[in-house]
Amino acid sequence: MADAEVAVPTPVHPVTPPKKVPKPKTAAERKERVDRILAELDAIFPNATCALIHKNPWQLLVATILSAQCTDERVNKVTPGLFKKYSTIEAMATASQDELANDIRSTGFFNNKARSLIGAAKKIMADYKGQVPRSMEELLTVPGAARKTANVVLGTAYGIPVGVVVDTHVQRISQRLDLTRNDEPVKIEQDLMKIIPQDRWILFAHQVIHFGRQICVARKPRCASCPLDSVCYSKDKTLA
């Protein structure tokens, strides 16, 4: 899920240089720091949720597949018409791939996405009685659904915390906040699952995605407006 960056009006303060922020040394200090990060995220984004508009698990699966390398905003412009035209999973399963690709052209990578959507619909009709599966193992058999997509569907549509969604925002911010020292999403997810309580996995990802869009943006993070400044020793901090 890529997304446009949105400016938020928040108070500005002098940014603490990374070298002046103490790093946690003990397990207790690390836990205390994570608790502080979670509390700050709760304070800023208490009701964070998925920005992809959907009415059921199937629509969320479709929207998530479309959101690869595309903004949620763009996906939300395409899906209302798409769900009207292909109103059931069956209708998507029997769609013309060329026509579907044209319908989703503006989301990019439309040929691959059309192939995935038709494949996903066929798989769900054939093997899961027309219901989007509710387990990671089963979801990973659905074309177009890798672990991130499966986590989005399980967490947001079903409320099942099987893992942590690791998109580009969660990856970047987990690294900046030293919650992981890995680069691979699967390893980052494992690191997060060890330090974030399971009942926070779903909300945490939503909060971090919002945080990444609004404050800790990829280029020139808005550190002077960041409530996590005092615990952040990232070399990416924007001091000026």
Among the listed residues 113, 123, 148, 237, the single catalytic one is: 148
Contact set with ligand SF4 (CB under 6 A): 176-177, 215-216, 221-223, 226, 228-229, 232, 234, 236-237
Query: Which residues have CB under 8 Å from 111's CB, separation 6+?
Result: 97, 101
Token digits of residue 71: 């903004």
Q: Is 148 a catalytic residue?
A: yes
Torsion of CA 203, 208, 195, 202, to 10 degrees: 20
Q: Which amino acid is at 11?
A: P
- Report, in Å, the least distance between residue 165 CB and ligand SF4: 18
**Closest CB to ligand SF4 among 162 and 215?**
215
Q: How many CB atoms sit inside 10 A of residue 180's CB?
A: 22
Among the listed residues 72, 123, 167, 237, the single catalytic one is: 167
- Report, in Å, the least distance between residue 35 CB and ligand SF4: 16
Q: Which amino acid is at 89?
A: I
**Closest CB to ligand SF4 among 51 and 177?**
177
- Report, in Å, the least distance between residue 1 CB and ligand SF4: 19
Token digits of residue 234: 């990232």
**Closest CB to ligand SF4 among 203 and 232?**
232
Q: What are the residues facing 71 on neighbouring strands?
A: 2
Active site residues: 148, 167
